[in-house]
Structure 1
Amino acid sequence: MERFRVLDVIAFVSLLEFCLILFFYMAADSDYHTSDSDPDAPSRSTSRRNANGNNAGHVNGSTAGAGYSWEDEYKRSWDVVQEDSSGSLAKAVEGLVTSSKRRRLLKDTTPLQRGIIRHLILILDLSSAMAEKDMRPTRYQLTITYSIDFINEYFEQNPISQLGVLGMKDGKCSRVSDLSGNPHDHILALQKLRTGEPSGDVSLLNSLSLARACLHHVPTHSTREILLIFGSLVSSDPGDIHLTIKDLVTDNIKVRVVGLSAQVAICREICRKTNNGDDRSFTQRVIVNDIGMYGVCLNELHFKDLLLETTIPPAEQKLQGSKKSNGTSLIMMGFPFRIIESSGSLCAWYVLLH
C-alpha cells in the first residue's frame, strides 16, 4: 500500500507540473503575435505591457521608444557604403578617412598657442599583457598597425617635428628607432617587430628615464613630449618612480598615456604632474576643445581615435599661480641685412678677376 501511495504522489506532482507548463505556454502565446504587414521581415512582436503588467494594446514596433529593443526596425548599415563605377570601395573608404580627419580638425577650434616644432617619444608596451586577444588579432599586432598610422599622420600634421620609438618588455626598455624626422625609418623599425612576441613585464621607471635621456639635448624652443601606449596593469620598477616624475617636471616634458586595459593610478599621476596639474581624460577634454592627457580605449576604433588625437600639438599652458603664460622663445632667423653704403666697395671676386 505504501508503494501505491508513493506512485500516486509522483503522478500527482507530474500532472501539476504539466498543468503549470501548459498555463505559462498559453499565457505567453496570448501576449505575442506575428506581424503580417511585412512578409520579407522576420517575425517580431508588436505588443507591449505597461508597468502594472496589464495589456496596453498593440503598438507599432518602429515607433521610437514605444516598444522593446527587439521591436525596432532593422538597419541595413551596409547600404550606406556605395560602390563606384568599377565596383570598388576604395573611394568610399577614402571618404570615411577624410571625414574623420576633418571632424578631428574642426573639433579643435579654440584659439590657443601651440608649439610648431615637436619632439615626441613613442613608448610601446611589448609585455605579455599585449598578447591578449580582446582586440583583433592581438593587442600587440594592432598596436603596431595603429602606431604606423600614427607616425604617418604625425608627420603629415607636423612636418618639421621629430619622433622616436621605444619598446618596453622583460622589465627593460630598448630603442626601436632613434629620434629623427624620417617616418620611413620608424615604419621599417616597427614592421620588424611583427615577427617578435610580447613577453615579460613593463617598467615605467626605466622607460621614462630612457625617454628623458633621448629628449635631454632638445632645444628649449620646441616641445618635449612622451606618448605611452600602456596595456599592463602593473609596473616592475627598480627604484622610486616619483623621483623620475619630478625629473620630467623639471625638464618640462609632457606625458600622455593611452591605456588598453583600465585606468592605472600611477599613470594618472604622471599625466597630472607633467601637465601642470591637468589630469582630465580624453573624453573630458573634448568639452573644452583640447587634447586629453590620459585615455582608456573601449574598442579598436576608440583606440585609434585616442592615438590620432595626439597628432595635434599640445596647447601652451599657464604657470600655476600666475596669470601670464610661459615665456615664448624667439628664434634668430638667418635673413640678410640690407645696408646702403654712401661710397662704392669692391667685392671678393675683384682680386681673382684682376
Structure 2
Amino acid sequence: MSKQYKYKQAKITEEFIDVDDEIQNSTQQTGYAWEEEYKRSWDVLQEDEDGSLKRTVENLQHRKRKRLFRDTATIRRGIIRHMFLIVDLSEAMMEKDLRPSRLDLTLLYAEQFILEYFDQNPISQLGIIVTKGGYAEKLSDLTEILIIMGSLTTCDPGDIYDTIDNLVNENIRVSVVGLAAEVQICKLMCKKTKGTYGVVLNEAHFKDLLFEIIPPPPVSATQNKAELVIMGFPSSVTDASPSLCACHSKPTIGGFICARCHSKICDLPTDCPVCELTLVSSPHLARSYHHLFPINNFVEVPWNNSVSSTHCFSCQIPFPPLLGVRGGAVPIENSGRYKCNKCHQHFCIDCDVFVHEVIHNCPGCLATTH
C-alpha cells in the first residue's frame, strides 16, 4: 500500500466518521465493566433495633413504586369507543430483548388489556387484527386503532402518506406501541391523528404504555358535537323451559328480553340481533360514566400533618408510627398517608391505587353523610 493511499484513507476516515468525544472519554475513564470495583449494593440494607429489615423495605417500596397521577380535569370524552387492536406477527416479534420474547409478552399483555378494556369500557367495541406476510384482514369498521409493532419497517401497498390523510379525514385515532425503536412514519401518523406513540423500555414500561390507552381519549374539536344514542335496558327472565335465543339460536333457560322487539338474548352488553338496539344495564353505563368525572388525585401527607391518623380509613391497616414514637436506626422517608381533599380521610398507598384504578369511588366521600 502506497503512502499516498494511506494518506487518503486517513483523510476520508476523519471526514466521514464522527466520533462522540463524550462517549469516548467516558469509556477511557471508566474502563471495562469487569475492571470496575464492586458497588456493594447490600450495604443499603440496614437493620432496625429489632434486627428487622421492614423499614428499609418500606423505604425502597415508596421510592420505586409508581404513583399514578391522572388528568382529573372535567373534559368531554366519548364513553362508547370502537377500537382496533393490531398486533405485529412478523419475524421481529421473535426477538428476546423482552422476556420471554416479544410475541409471548405481547400476547400476555394483550389478554390483560382486553379484559381491562371491557371492564372500564363495557359498552365499547374492540376488534383484533394480526399482520403477517404483508396481509391484514378487517372484519368491521371502527374509529380507533392501537398498533403493537415490533418491526422497524412497514409494508405499504400504496402511498403511506395518503393513508394517513385518509385516517385524518375519517377522524380515526391511531396509537402505536413500539417494541424496537422509534419509527418516524409511526410518530408522524400518531401526531396527525391525535394519538399517542411510545417506545418500550422494559417489560413494566410495555404494560404502562398499553394500559394508558384504556381510558377514553378527549373528544377533538372536529368531533365536538353532541349525539344522542338510543339504548335499551332489557329485563332479566328465567324460563320454565328452554327457549331459543336470538343471538346464538340455541336453547337457554335464562336470558334478557329486548326492550323494543322482545327478542331473547344471552348476555349484556350487546346489540340486539333483530332490531339492532344497543342493550346495556345500568351498572355498565355507570362503569363507562366514571371517565367523565374522575376522582381527584390523593395528596401525600407529610409527617407534620399525619398526627390525626393511625390507620387507613379503607382497609384499617396501621400506618407507620410517628417520628416521636418510633425507634430504630432506619427512618421512614414517607409517612405512608395519602389524603382525599374532599373528605380529608387518609388512605394507604395500596388503597390509593385501588380507588383510582378499580372502584373509581372514594370510600371516605361515600361514607360522608351530608
Q: TM-score, normalised by structure 2?
A: 0.45
Richer in helix (by share): 1
Q: Which has the higher contact order (CA 8 A, sep 6+)?
A: 2
Of structures 1 and 2, the larger Rg is shown by 1
